[in-house]
Amino acid sequence: MRRARRIPIVLCALTSLVCGAAVARADVPPGATAAPACTGDSGPVPLSKSIAVCGTTFPAWDTAYLLAGIGATGFWISASSETDSSALSSIVMLDAAGNTVTRTFATQEGTSIFPYGEGSHALAYNESLVPGELLLGRYDVAGGFAPVFQHKLLLDTERAQVTNDLAGRFIVTEDKNDTIEVVVFATNGAVEWARTYSSAAFGFSSPTPFDTQVSYTERLADGSYAIEVVKQSIDLGTFAFTTTTHIVKLSATGTVEWAKTFAGLTGSVNTAEYVNGSLSFSIAEANFSNPAATPTAVVGRLSSNGTVLWSKRLTGARLVPVGPLPGDRLLLTGSIGTSENPFSSTALAVLSSNGTLEAQTQFNAGTYTVGYPTVREGAVYMSLLANDSEDGPLVDGGASYIGVGDATLSGFQWKQHDQPSHWTFLAPDDDTDRVAVSVFDQATHTLHAYLLDATLGGAGACDRFVSASVTNSAPGITVEDVAVTPSDLVVTSAAFTPTVQAGALGFESFTTREVAICAAGGGGGGGGGGGEEVVLSASSVDVVAAGGTGSIGVTTTSAYSVSSDAAWLTFSGAAQRTGNSTIAYSVAPNLDPAPTGTNPRRTAVLTVGDKTFTVTQAYLAAPVQATPSGAPTNLGTSAGSGHVDVLATTGTEWRVVSSPWIEIETTTNPDGSTRITWDVSNPQPIGARSGSVRIVDAEGDTIYTLPISQAGAGGVAPTNMSARTLVGTGDKILIPGFVVGGSGQTRVMIRGVGHTLGAFIGNGTLDDPRFLVYRSVPPVNGVEQPDVFVGQNDSWEDDRDRIAAYADELGAFPLTDARDAARVSALDPGAYTIHFSSASGASGIGLVELYELDASDNRGLVNLSARAEVGANDLVMIPGFAVQGDEPVQVLVRGVGPTIGSYGVQGVLADPEIEVFDSDNVSIGGNDDWGTNADLAALQQAVAASGAFDLLADSKDAAILLTLPPGTYTAHIRGKGADVGVALLEVYFLRDL
């Protein structure tokens, strides 16, 4: 790994720009936005200024904000750049005047990097590079980012939470279900203390995929610590959430001082440091039965020994604590709105030291208003972002406001930035009266950073902020006492020695383009030298057919206008400008059919003052152009995902098909291209498999293929089932059933066939078949619950392309009649039934098929069943099933008539017979009466292991236990002699899930 080194500032040609040097590295990661090329400068630029990444070695920022609180030492910019898989973090260190001193990018995706306290150092960590390893270190920012220490902490899990204090300590919390480990690293990298914490209340005895526990530790101002453990479970029957929060208070050396449990609440408890060693807590209550109900929150205060001093329920908003105000008062904030628009306004409230509501207000600056307050010495500073678009300001950007008021929440003075943004961040400096303000424009990937005084003016503030008004009103929040009684929790603790090895993270310096927003001392943005000509950093550019973005630098002291002569060439920012600036432009994909001729191109022009900038763009080389993301497609025994971006000329028809175990989703990119996202969620397929994502034209001919493969993990699993019989009406419809086991969703294809079946068996097939799928719900407090409707289908034409492609790959016969039914579904673990009948009310021979699309040894189909009227000849019911894998499986097959009569089923088959056949139609076993089995004890043991209901003693029901190698089988159930009646055929696969 290459260590970052300090490099002197590089001077460039333009008078208002500054660039820092960078070392060469790999190309910008997939999914990240390339930064524009750097153009010259004349030296450092102080605050206030606009700053953005430039050069080709690092991506543009997707988020950035300015931090204060380091006093005369200076300021920080914390930023990140999104990639396909994670993000790249970066920081910029500024001196007291706001001049850039150091710029550092983390070269490994997923690294978190942040400054702390005394200002000349930064902390960084990464837990995503290698599972079970946490890399962390402290670095001398002013000294070329040289490491003070770099460690690798070995973990037993992948669930570590990392926090830090202002002194520069690292606090690592690893959640190991019933045990929590905390390691504290001092500023020199030494382990200050490390302890384990155990409690019978931690973790889950038999966790499901829906059970979660998250733990983290924070150091409080008095040097003590607090661990917060949040557990959440979901009842799969009622889908109700249960949340339990444990708070463990620790001494400065990690010993337990007290521990409390908050249980029976409808939301997780969030704590924050209050004053004098106490903690505030808040619970944003959830109403799952009525999401549109008036929002409520419970807020309270814990003493330094864990006693609840007071607790209140606030109705009208879900408020959370921001921080203390003078007099031990507490400031809270939250959003107010409706279920359709929960962010119509931002609310503030002040509670007294005993929880009395002293003040409240709400701010509204648009249909959507998102904001957050900060507090300094009794003053309340607010930043707001607002717009009227459907997706809200965090997606589309909006108007940026900053304001300041007092603890009475009255007299707020507001200012508005003269350009829209995607986020505004306001940070009062704790050591001076200055306020750092940052406005980030995601469209141009640029941070506008300002240094204002305590009144949000003066101190060289530019007139880019103008006086504004924001509507405020009383939100009608009410407060009432509510009993919150946490119980004592027994937590044992012991010291341990963590495994700490040498580690290393990668960092490199990078370049920025910095533009002075206005002259030092305040006032406008340029001025002087009227009539000077415009100088552009470039006069032309060639662009590929896919389009893209770029920028050009403008040097002048004059006023000028910017315009484009083509709809496909656009620019961001104002059309009327004065002085030096950067014009960010965007070129749309060229989807016009290519004209004849050699190397055809289209041309557009940006006019900037008295100069022009010409853009020449190519046409697509083929009607459809596909570009894969570069994600691995040979997955081994791992899950994986990626995407393919598709450009097609106007009027070209195409569609995408994939293998059944490869899920795809199509979305439209901002540039107008189509993104096909593919996902393989099963990391353990039973057998090796090769598939693809294909783009085909209107005739079905393949245009592009992305091959995807996986290695097999071994094991055994049932992969499909079918049931064929005479399907009637009422109680005589066909009702196959199946159980999905394991964890996570299982994707299946269900087909209900009548008309296409005629090609195989002649007349008498079911007319207009349809099926409905239901999921069984367990009883609640002994009360039976109705089944939940999952979905239905009566025409496979609803999803024709996918159904046909899946059938072809699975080897199923093709459907030829649109009146047959088929559906693809992703099903959670549970028991399901398929109700198969005729939509026209007719009777006839019908076939139900169930295919598992992504077989795995640790999830999927567990058992199969089918219920219908059964007799002889056409009334014989013939369920089929297939076993995939590399080992035999024990199968319990039962034909039940008399016993289901005891459950209320009328007209049951009195004496069912079963017989199992292999794919060559050779009988491999059968039974008439279950009590005649030679090894009755083994049969009864299998019934108990499968969870099947017991058969009535001495009944005429049939059952047989078989050991079957992988293959395809059918099970015939018929009535003895001329006997006719309703019967149930069951197949249980006896394997450990």
pLDDT tens digits for range 532-554: 578 888 888 889 888 889 999 89
Cis status of the peptide bond prior to 48, with omega within 30 of 0: yes
Q: To the nearest whole percent, how much of the chain has pLDDT over 70? A: 87
**122 has pLDDT over 60:** yes
Per-residue confidence (pLDDT) for residue 270, from 0 to 100 = 61
Amino acid residing at 359: A
Give whole-number Cα distances, 629 to 262, 398, 633, in Å: 46, 31, 10
CB neighbours of residue 743 within 10 Å: 14
Report, as an integer, the average pLDDT of 364-369.
80
Top-confidence range, 409-413, 493-497, 825-829: 493-497
For residue 73, what pLDDT band results from cuts at 50, 70 and 90?
low
Task: Tell me the C-alpha distance between 817 and 799, whole Å.
Answer: 13
Q: What is the pLDDT of residue 40?
A: 54
DSSP structure string for 180-208 = EEEEEE-TTS-EEEEEEEE-TTSS-SS--
Q: What is the pLDDT of residues 661-677, one digit of tens each?
A: 888 888 887 767 889 99
Instruction: State the pLDDT at residue 150.
Output: 93
pLDDT (tens digit per residue) in 828-848: 888 899 999 999 999 999 999
Number of helices followed by number of strands (H, E) in the chain: 5, 74
Q: Please give the pLDDT value at position 392.
A: 55
Cα 852 to Cα 160: distance, rounded to the nearest angstrom = 36
Mean pLDDT for the stretch of residues 523-533: 39
Per residue, the 3-state secondary structure of 289-305, as one string, reads CCCCCCCEEEEEEECCC
Alpha carbons 990 and 948: distance in angstroms, whole number? 11
Q: What is the pLDDT of residue 348?
A: 92
Query: What strand order describes the sheet that includes 320-325?
Result: 320-325, 329-336, 345-351, 357-364, 471-473
pLDDT for the residue 126: 86
Half-sphere exposure of 785 (CA within 13 A, CB side): 15
Among 147, 148, 143, 187, which Cα is nearest to 164's? 187
Which residues, in sequence order, are CB contacts of 909 under 8 Å at separation 6+?
A: 870, 871, 897, 975, 979, 980, 981, 982, 983
Q: What is the pLDDT of residues 419-455, one digit of tens each?
A: 777 778 888 876 677 788 888 888 788 888 888 888 8
From the list 932, 981, 922, 919, the residue with the least C-alpha distance to 961 is: 932
Residues 567-608: pLDDT tens digits? 899 998 888 888 888 999 999 999 888 887 777 889 999 999
- Please name the amino acid found at residue 900: I
| Span 280-321, pLDDT tens digits | 777 766 555 555 677 888 888 888 788 888 888 888 887 888
| Whether pLDDT at 52 is above 60 | yes
Burial 640-649 (b: 16+ CB within 10 A, else e): bbbbbbbbbb
Q: Which residues of 433-460 are buried (b: 16+ CB within 10 A; e: fewer)?
A: ebbbbbbbbbbbbbbbbbbbebebbebb
Rama region for 968: left / alpha / beta (φ>0; ψ in -120 to 50; rest):
beta
Question: Does pLDDT of 11 surpass 50?
Answer: no
Statement: residue 652 has pLDDT above 80: yes
Residue 15 reports pLDDT greater than 50: no
C-alpha atoms less than 13 angstroms from C-alpha of 542 in its C-beta half-sphere: 5
Q: Is the pLDDT of residue 208 over 80?
A: no
Range of weakest confidence among 20-24, 307-311, 958-962: 20-24
Average model confidence (pLDDT) for the chain? 82
Q: Where are the beta strands (DSSP E) in 109-224?
A: 112-115, 121-126, 133-140, 146-154, 160-164, 170-176, 179-185, 191-198, 212-219
Under the banding of pLDDT at 50, 70 and 90, the label for residue 240 is: low
Q: What φ, ψ does residue 542 adopt, rounded to 5°?
A: -100, 135
Which band of pLDDT confidence, cut at 50, 70 and 90, is reported for residue 264? low
Q: What does the pLDDT look like over 466-517, one tens digit per residue?
A: 778 888 888 889 999 988 888 899 999 999 999 999 988 888 888 888 887 7
